[in-house]
Amino acid sequence: MKSILSFAIGLIALFTVTTGFTPVIKANPHFVSGPCLDGRTIKGTVAGLGSGPITATADGKFVCVNRGGNTPAPKSFTITQTFNKTSGGNFKLALNVASLCPNRNFTFRISDVTITVCNAAGECAEETFSGALPTCR
């Protein structure tokens, strides 16, 4: 058994040296935690996207509810930001959604958000939420 294993490893090494072939490891992009909403910041941790940097995009809808509780038709927003790896092969995301309401007399709410995180090779992790994002704990 030991000689078969040694022979197989030797063949792989010989093939790699003679052909210049480098084994490719397929990325496995995924959210480790989140995404969730902390105030007006979309947070999450993503892994499986290589060494970075990565680009995160949040597309969604927002409304500005007035003090009388009237909710106008939703409008769209898009936020894109680049992140570098933090620790242990993970990327920590923090996308700040600035209030797009005209003044403080309105309550800013976001909903129907899709968060897409991609590396330079085009490998992506994506999460979509109908309605509100879960609140971060």
CATH code, domain carrying 85 = 2.60.40
At 2-49, the pLDDT tens digits run 565 455 455 454 444 444 544 444 568 889 998 999 988 999 999 888
- Indicate whether 1 belongs to any domain: no
pLDDT at 16: 44
- Indicate whether 13 belongs to any domain: no
Mean pLDDT of the chain: 82
- Indicate whether 80 belongs to any domain: yes
Q: In what order do the strands lie in the sheet with 54-66?
A: 75-83, 54-66, 106-118, 124-129
- Indicate whether 136 belongs to any domain: no
At 111-122, the pLDDT tens digits run 999 999 999 889
**How many separate domains does the chain show?**
1
- Domain range for 94: 27-129
- Quick check: pTM over 0.75? no
- Indicate whether 43 belongs to any domain: yes
- Indicate whether 137 belongs to any domain: no
